[in-house]
Amino acid sequence: MRSDTSPTLVGFFYIRRVIMCTAVTYQTNHFYFGRTLDYESSYGEEIVILPRKFPLSFLHRGTVTQHYAIMGIAHVANQYPLFYDAINEKGLCMAGLNFVGNAHYVKSTTEENEVAQYEFIPWILSTCATTAEAKERISSIHITDTPFCEQMPVGQLHWMIADKNQTITVEAVADGIKIYENPVGVLTNNPPFPEQLFRLNDFMHLSPKQPQNHFSSTLSLQPYSRGMGALGLPGDLSSQSRFIRAAFVRANSVSGTSEQESVSQFFHILGSVDQQRGCCEVASDKYEITIYTSCCNASKGIYYYTTYDNHQISAVDMHRTDLDSKTLSCYKPVTEEQIFCQN
């Protein structure tokens, strides 16, 4: 446990307890991974590059001074990046998403096979090159409820981990750590992942094609609008509905294979679960919004993002920095709208 009494950090870890979000994968010529982060305010997150020789400390594993480079969105506290989502230089991706009421972490007994919840993302991404490696490592650990500092409650999260070959969901629950294959490449929040996945059975009739009349052979029924094959697709902002909607959009997504086309399509996929100010009230005059949307080209090590007030896509390339450095590189998100005037 570390000592820090910053009120900003208290707010930051509160956000990690209540945020809503959606994560997806996408494959064209390259592999892409990203997420939305939905909340009513920002807590100073930055795009952070953690180079190979940055001294990365773990409570029960000491300090590691040589590891894979990592890049992602994080809040940096006492020079320690608390990652929301990130990729490493090998193309492994990971995101933590809200899982309140179901996440369960064990009490620390100071054993070597323990990883504190806040260490989980940097531990996996600093040591694993593939999802298969991550899956093997996770099977032998315990995730503890040790907070980063006394002022920060432990975030209740579950995680999506992916590379170009395999995607898994990891949930630490009351009866242990569960690792699930994730065939849809989507994760939101509650309920637990097997229940989210099962609910797709209720929507197997949805299609991007126009519907046929199966109602009655004696009635002349015709579609009267485009898009009627997806009638019944949930449109609300709840986590289960966002899971179904994102899974449908991703599964039926069609794009070109260039970088521009792939990135553009990825943002359109996550745009299907975008939260607009005023639609999700969390308190009087407070509304949950999509703080940022990310899209990582895991093959090239590029972190693309937009923010609520800036729809222009910005990017940070990890390979344009010294990945053998010992210090973090931090970039504040561009949050003001960029408008291109044509005349």
pLDDT at residue 8 in the model: 44
Give SS3 for 138.
helix
How confident is the model at residue 280, as a pLDDT? Answer: 92
pLDDT for res 18: 54
pLDDT for 288: 92
pTM for this model (two decimals):
0.93
pLDDT at 5 over 80: no
Of the pLDDT bands very low, low, confident and very high (cuts 50, 70, 90), residue 273 is: very high
Structure confidence by residue, pLDDT tens digits, 44-92: 899 999 999 999 999 888 899 999 999 999 999 989 999 999 999 999 9
pLDDT at 28 over 90: yes
Q: Does residue 207 lie within any of the structural domains? A: no
Domains in the chain, number: 1
Of the candidates 60, 153, 69, the one whose C-alpha atom is nearest the C-alpha of residue 105 is 153
Query: Is 311's pLDDT higher than 90?
Result: yes
The reported pLDDT for the residue numbered 12 is 39
Active site residue 296: no
Q: Which domain holds residue 315?
A: 7-197+239-331
Residue 306 · residue 334 · CB < 8 Å: no
Query: What integer pLDDT is reported at residue 199 of this predicted model?
Result: 97
Q: Is residue 104 part of a domain?
A: yes
Residue 148 pLDDT grade (very low, low, confident, very high; cuts 50, 70, 90): confident
Task: Give me 208's structure tokens.
Answer: 């991007």
Q: If we measure between CA atoms, which residue out of 99, 90, 40 comes closest to residue 69?
A: 90
CATH of the domain at 89: 3.60.60.10
Q: Is the pLDDT of residue 217 over 80?
A: yes
Separation of alpha carbons 64 and 49, rounded Å:
16
Strand order in the sheet with 70-77: 176-181, 167-173, 157-162, 93-98, 80-88, 70-77, 46-50, 329-331
Which of 21, 93, 128, 296 is catalytic? The answer is: 21
Beta strands in 163-229 (DSSP E): 167-173, 176-181, 186-187
Q: Which of 15-19, 175-179, 248-252, 274-278 has the lowest mean pLDDT?
A: 15-19
Above 80 in pLDDT, residue 332?
Answer: yes
The reply to whether 220 falls in a domain is no
Spatial distance between the Cα atoms of 335 and 24, rounded to a whole number of angstroms: 23
Mean pLDDT for 95-107 is 95
Sequence letter at residue 173: V
Does 179 map to a domain?
yes
What's the token pair of residue 309? 């007030």
Q: Which amino acid is at 169?
A: T
Report if residue 93 sits inside a domain. Answer: yes
Kind and range of the H or E run holding 117? none
Asked whether residue 122 is domain-assigned, the answer is yes
pLDDT given at position 19:
67
Calculate mean pLDDT across residues 123-134: 98
Residue 96's beta-bridge partner residues? 159
Q: Residue 305 falls within a domain, yes or no?
A: yes
